[in-house]
Amino acid sequence: MPPALQHAEYKLLCQAIQEAAQLLAEGKVALGYQCLNSGLERAVELSEAGETWAVDLAESYRRALFHYACLYPTSQRVPMTQVARRL
């Protein structure tokens, strides 16, 4: 895949982190989590399609999700999707 896609996906990761932080600040914690989780699902799909760099992208999303989840109460956490468990 062209490096442009890889660059675009990492840019989307940064945007997703910023959006999730904004949603968290607004008290919309589940939406922020879902924003990051959607990116993780896309990264996993790219990896399964043979994009080797997407493995690192998925790991970056997982780390972001882990850190994000540590910032809000367990009562507001949403269940992990099946895609998030792969890789």
Q: What is the pLDDT of residues 21-72, one digit of tens each?
A: 999 999 898 899 999 999 999 999 999 999 999 999 999 999 999 999 888 7
What pLDDT is stored for residue 70 in this prediction? 85
What pLDDT is stored for residue 56 in this prediction? 97
Tokens 């699902």 — which residue? 41
Give dist(CA 25, CA 28) in Å, integer.
7
Diameter over CA atoms, the chain: 42
Residue 86: is its pLDDT beyond 80?
no
Bigger pLDDT: 3 vs 20: 20
Bigger pLDDT: 86 vs 30: 30
Tokens found for residue 49:
């399609």
Q: How far, in Å, are 17, 48, 56 from residue 63 at the CA level?
A: 11, 19, 11
